[in-house]
Amino acid sequence: MAAQVLSLDAMLAERRLWRGQPVARPRNANPTGHAALDALLPEGGWPEAALTELLCAADGLGELRLVLPTLARLTQAAQPVALVAPPYLPFPDGWRQAGVDLAHLHVVEAAPRDALWAAEQCLRAGCLGAVLAWPRAADDRALRRLQVAADGGRTPGFVFRALREAANPSPAALRIAVEGGTPPRLRVLKCRGGNPPARALPVPALAPAAG
Amino acid sequence: MLWACLCRSAGPCPADAAGESRPWVGSAARELLAAWAYRYSSQVGIGYDDAVVLEIEASLRLFGPWPAFERRLRADLEALGIACRIAVAPNPRAAWVLAGVHDGLAIVHEARLETALSRIPVAHARLEPKQAQALQAMGLRRLGQLFAAPRDALGKRFGPALLQHLDRLRGAPEALQAYAPPDRFDLRFELEWDVDGTQPLLFPLRRLVNALAAFLAGRDGGVQRFVLRLEHDGHPDTEVVVGMLAAERDPALLFELARSRLERLGDGARRAVPAPVRGLRLVADELPPFVPAAPALFEARPAQSLPWPALRERLRARLGGEAVYRLAAHDDHRPERAWRRVDAAAAPTRRAPPATPAAPRPAWLLHQPVPLRSRGFATLAGPERIESGWWDGGDLRRDYYLVETGEGQRAWVFRPTGDADAPPMLHGWFA
């Protein structure tokens, strides 16, 4: 067999070889509002019509800061957002400083046994821009129901749970752990559409307006 | 003018022969029929004791042509659970007589009316039974023979009422008792046997709610609050109140709300239904005008999506009326009073919200401040002095700090002013 050595450049110049262009990623319609986090996620933002799990080591580590830009964007576009069984009172001044329009922020108080039901109803209804839920006790099956409801209602859902749940399997499309420390760090444990990145990211600092 | 008659008489009705269930009997059925028919025509006559007539010529433009309109009427009647015969004629009395014998007969032209009427047996011509018998004994078996008989002689023998009836059949003017929709809805469902528990009540409940929805659609209104009365034998009635924040009239929504209230009654307190249920009654007094929500023309949401007001009602029905609300900032420096609950259905206020404080505020506020438990913390900002309320008894003087705990949490803590050694109290999280 006569092997013929061809120059790659020559072939390219003769248009006999076609170079695949790097495909521009489709712009995600639901960016997180944090450029560093968007770059880390395979979809370039929150998964649409799916569940995102935020596993927090403690309160006040910046877990809400991850979603507040998204909520601000949604509520300013007059899309309602529901908080199902929040652990504390959402303090209006704090949320307004983050840019959230309170007219479209709805609080749904629910006893622990009703919280999952309420979250599922909100996700399934399909009329909300996003649903945030704090279920006290949620197992794999309950989360699967939420995931199916989010898919059926085409609504992004955010479930906040304790970090110790990271060991348990979950059907959520995206799992992010928020670990304590100075500064707190976040780690993507699972993400649909790609391998979870190995490196951790510092939790975004408080918004400039807030300090 | 063209009139349609919906008739559920004791005459030869095929549905009755088949033993079909007839949930509504007597005048309740006629009221319901009239209320429902009112949505298709502005002239609904209820003068005939077992039938409802409605003027349809004007309605045909919107709902017509007649075969399509008829299909629509029949589909509605089936949903309501009422078996009816339908006939159309140029005058209401002729429609009534035809509906007594035929089902689905439509006569539009006056010329054909006389022929069709001529064939009607005297026994079914809506005459007084005695007169009908006498006429038959005389050998007059069909209306046509009556039309042909000498008028003076008939008048002498049977009185002017018979002549009037015959004249009106052929188009003489007639004053009909017109239906006017009442301002309250009250319908009762008699159960055939005593019922224990809420599950078997769902079927009659659906019937009642469908009837209510038909009534509401007829008067172009909604319902904001209605009462379900469970009637017991030898026990006072159990009342189940179903309230909504806004007027609604969608049967599926109303049924679901009533159902969840009813089911809550069943399992909430043990034996909340004290005795077997004999009858079910639905009473609605508050019937405000219904303003349908106008959805955006190009809705990006999936077709089966449930609008937020409906979802809100569903949540409130199960979680309680106070469970769904919004928050608003209130113009007060004290964190405990810097917010207000806003009723879920309240219209957005035009008033500009108070300015946000310059200093950072946390996203979470603890309902009750607790001592901060942490291994050491660093102060990031503060103190910010909040001193207010000496005039209304809610006096407080505090220095607020933004601190970072050893675990990396951002907390909003305060100390009483002037007491630098006091343990810091945790009041919020910068989550």
DSSP secondary structure letter of residue A210 = G
In angstroms, rounded to a whole number, what is the distance separating the alpha carbons of residues A26 and A18? 23
Distance of CA B206 to the CA centre of its chain: 11
pLDDT digits 0-9 by tens, B391-419: 887 788 889 999 988 888 889 999 888 78
Q: State whether residue B369 sits within 8 Å of chain A by CB.
A: no
Residue B115 scores a pLDDT above 80: yes
Q: What is the pLDDT of residue B12?
A: 38
Q: Which chain B residues are closer than 8 Å to A124 by Cβ? A: 306
Cis peptide bond prior to B383, omega within 30° of 0: yes
Average of per-residue pLDDT values in chain B: 82
Q: What is the pLDDT of residue A69?
A: 92
Q: State whether residue A102 sits within 8 Å of chain B by CB.
A: yes
- Which residue of chain A has the CA closest to B317? A118
Closest CA to B227 of B210, B216, B243, B251: B243
- Verify whether the Cβ–Cβ distance B363 to A64 is below 8 Å: yes
CB of B307 closer than 8 Å to CB of B295: yes
Portion 1-60 of B in contact with A at CB < 8 A: none
Q: State whether residue A150 sits within 8 Å of chain B by CB.
A: no
Which neighbouring-strand residues pair with A105? A81
Residue B75 scores a pLDDT above 50: yes
Residue with structure tokens 């005039």? B391
Assign A71 a pLDDT band (cuts: 50, 70, 90): very high
Mean pLDDT of A75-101: 92
Residue with structure tokens 């970072």? B404
* Amino acid at position B180, single letter: A
pLDDT digits 0-9 by tens, A120-173: 999 988 889 999 999 988 888 889 999 999 988 889 999 999 998 888 889 999
Residue B246 scores a pLDDT above 80: no
CB of B329 closer than 8 Å to CB of A93: yes
Q: What is the pLDDT of residue B18?
A: 35
A91, A97, A122, best to mutate vs chain B, most B CBs in 10 Å: A91
Q: In Å, how far are A85, A184, B99 from B365, measured between CA atoms?
A: 14, 21, 71
Angle at CA A45, nearest 5°, toward A87 and A179?
Answer: 45
Percentage of chain B beyond pLDDT 70 is 89
From A208's Cα to the closest Cα of chain B, the distance in A is 10
- Verify whether the Cβ–Cβ distance A126 to B328 is below 8 Å: no
Residue A189 scores a pLDDT above 80: yes
Q: What is the pLDDT of residue A87?
A: 92
Nearest to B311 among A65, A95, A127 (CB): A127
Angle at CA B189, nearest 5°, toward B185 and B194?
Answer: 145
What residues contact B428, with CB distance under 8 A and at least 6 apart? A88, A91, A94, B335, B361, B362, B363, B364, B365, B366, B411, B412
Q: State whether residue B362 sits within 8 Å of chain A by CB.
A: yes
Q: What is the pLDDT of residue A209?
A: 41
Assign B293 a pLDDT band (cuts: 50, 70, 90): low
Assign B303 a pLDDT band (cuts: 50, 70, 90): low
Q: State whether residue B241 sits within 8 Å of chain A by CB.
A: no
In angstroms, rounded to a whole number, what is the distance separating the alpha carbons of residues A147 and A172? 6
Q: Which chain A residues are closer than 8 Å to B306 by Cβ? A: 124-127
